[in-house]
Amino acid sequence: MDWRVPLADLDYGKEEERAVIDVLRSKWLTMGEVTQIFEAEFCRMTGSKHAIAVSNGTLALHLACLALGIGPGDEVIVPSLSFVATSNAALYCGADVCFADVIGPDDVTIDPNAIEGLITPKTKAIIVMHYAGFPCCMREILEIASNHGIPVIEDAAHAPGASLDGKALGTWGEIGCFSFFSNKNLSTGEGGMVTCNRDDLAENIQLLRSHGMTTLTYDRHKGHAFSYDVVTLGHNYRIDEIHSALGIQQLKKLDRNNAKRRELTQVYWQNLRDTEIELPFVQRTWGLPSHHVFPILLPSHVDRLAFMSAMRDAGVQSSIHYRPIHTFSFYQNRFGTISLPITEEIGRREVTLPLFPTMTDEQLEWVITNVKRLIA
């Protein structure tokens, strides 16, 4: 469809085109100098000691779980109000997941009290997800986690450039996982990054990313190594130089584009505040979010499907973040019926409106006008 206002759009220009052509001309296509630069720049942006670039955000989460030794018989606490990859990562390792509810309509991040209530002797990790790039209650969560000696993984797919008390999201827990999928704040098409401060974890993640091999093809190309050993069961989760080159360019635009998302969000909030719509995070006074998406909660009496269809007819694309993971067939078949009242209510009422850095004032006004018209 040719949307008058799409849900998301890329901020791509000549810089990205040139960066790709430079890689093609260099004739070195995977895991070389460009990837090293991307990782170094990501370390600088987040303040993380290590950043390990991978093929996508899902694999970043899988590597995080593997590096922490999660396996069969373990339990991992996860939010259900997230993308399915958040919890799939634990299942890939043979572990079970325990779904925690979110705080409420004002704050749709994972509830620290719910986490605490789910901890058992089998709990091996907690995965939190910074919804729309709004920080989870990291101080409370880390206190609970450290009281029980359980590591925290941050699914920071929504949160590049976001921070809490000046410290980047993705660097609060033991491991941070980022996604550079096309619709994310930093987009390379496919791509991801793992951040961590511990040297042993970083080394393990680097091995697991490339077949458990002790040297890279690039090292051998450079004459730094002639052979390798395989020391663990690894994977091919590498990124290539073209995606890294795009990442370097997108990273340069990240702060400016997140600020633009913030301005657009403020205008949405100002204009929708006095309607029956509930606005998650509108009361937030803490943290620097990345505003990955703009969620609204429709009044219970509004038919969401009818609302989204009417928006479509006005040329406005909308979406849902998210259908709760525990309600998917696969998860129901595996874990049975679970009750998470707040997550389920939000899953029923949430609609995501367009938000992207190149959105024009005219587009924003058109969305607001139509939302108000349909709610009235």
Ligand X SMILES: *Cc1c(COP(=O)(O)O)cnc(C)c1O
Q: Kindly list the catalytic residues.
A: 184
Binding to ligand X, residues 146-165 (CB under 6 A):
155, 157-158
How many CA within 13 A on the CB side of residue 103? 20
Smallest gap from Cβ 83 to ligand X, in A, equals 4
Beta-bridge partners for 189: 181
Task: Supply the minimum distance, in Å, between the C-beta of residue 299 and ligand X.
Answer: 26
Asked if 56 is part of the footprint of ligand X (rule: CB under 6 A), the reply reads: yes
When asked if residue 86 is in the footprint of ligand X (CB under 6 A), the reply is yes
CB of 158: closest distance to ligand X in angstroms?
6
Measured from each CB, the residue nearest to ligand X is 57
Nearer to ligand X, 19 or 89 (CB): 89
User: At which residue do the structure tokens 């949307």 appear?
Assistant: 3
Of the candidate residues 38, 42, 83, 99, the single one contacting ligand X (CB under 6 A): 83
CB of 187 to ligand X, least distance (A): 10
Shorter beta-carbon distance to ligand X: residue 293 or 316: 293
Q: How many Å apart are CA 178 and CA 156, to the nearest integer?
A: 5
CB atoms within 10 A of CB 319: 16
- CB within 8 A of 376, min separation 6: which ones? none
Cite the DSSP H helix spans in the chain: 14-26, 33-46, 57-67, 85-92, 112-118, 138-148, 199-209, 217-221, 241-272, 304-313, 329-335, 341-349, 361-375
Torsion (CA) 86, 91, 96, 97 in degrees, nearest 10: 10
- Where in 167-196 is the site for ligand X (CB under 6 A)? 179, 181, 192
Q: Which stretch binds ligand X (CB under 6 A): 52-60, 116-124, 264-272, 359-367?
A: 52-60
Cβ 121 to ligand X, closest distance in Å? 28
Q: Which is nearer to ligand X, 68 or 81 (CB)?
A: 81
Q: Is 275 exposed, middle or buried (0-12, 13-18, 19+ CB in 10 A)?
A: middle
How far apart, in whole angstroms, are the C-alpha atoms of residue 160 and residue 254? 8
Q: Under the criterion CB under 6 A, does residue 82 sit at the interface with ligand X?
A: yes
**Residue ranges that bind ligand X, judged by CB under 6 A:** 56-58, 82-83, 85-86, 129, 155, 157-158, 179, 181, 192
